[in-house]
Amino acid sequence: MSEAKEPTVAQKLVGDFAPKLAQLTDEVLFGDVWERAELAPRDRSLVTVAALIAGGNTEQLAGHLSRAKQNGLSETELAEVIIHLAFYAGWPRAMSAVKIAREVFKK
């Protein structure tokens, strides 16, 4: 008898509506792209957090800030990314990112 696997984050977020998107997220994005040896997980997190902030995509930011901390980035470094991006991606995007980061870092 096989034990039921806990659903992945992608399966929980979109699996009921878009199961293929959940599968691609799990298998391609996190199963392949995030596992490639050419960039360290820490670097991938730095790039991802910066891209999310620059694009104003704050809905995924909380999860990626948590992942960034797990991948070795400090809260100070992540705050510095936000400060730096205020001048390249826009003040409102940085201010929105601070709000999300503050909530994530409280946990």
**47-102, pLDDT tens digit by residue?**
999 999 999 999 999 999 999 999 999 999 999 999 999 999 999 999 999 999 99
Note the CATH number of domain 39-107. Answer: 1.20.1290.10
DSSP secondary structure letter of residue 85: H
pLDDT score for 94:
98
Displacement of CA 2 from its chain's centroid (Å): 31
pLDDT score for 104:
96
3-state SS, 17-50, equals CCHHHHHHHHHHHCCCHHHCCCCCHHHHHHHHHH
Query: Which part of the chain is CATH 1.20.1290.10?
Result: 39-107
pLDDT score for 69:
98
At residue 107 the predicted structure's pLDDT band, cuts being 50, 70 and 90, is: confident
At residue 4 the predicted structure's pLDDT band, cuts being 50, 70 and 90, is: confident
For range 16-39, the mean pLDDT = 97
pTM of the model: 0.89
C-alpha to C-alpha distance for 84 and 58, rounded to whole angstroms:
17
Residue 35, CB-side half-sphere exposure with 13 Å CA sphere: 8
Residue 14 main-chain phi, psi, to 5 deg: -135, -5
N-term to C-term CA, the chain: 37
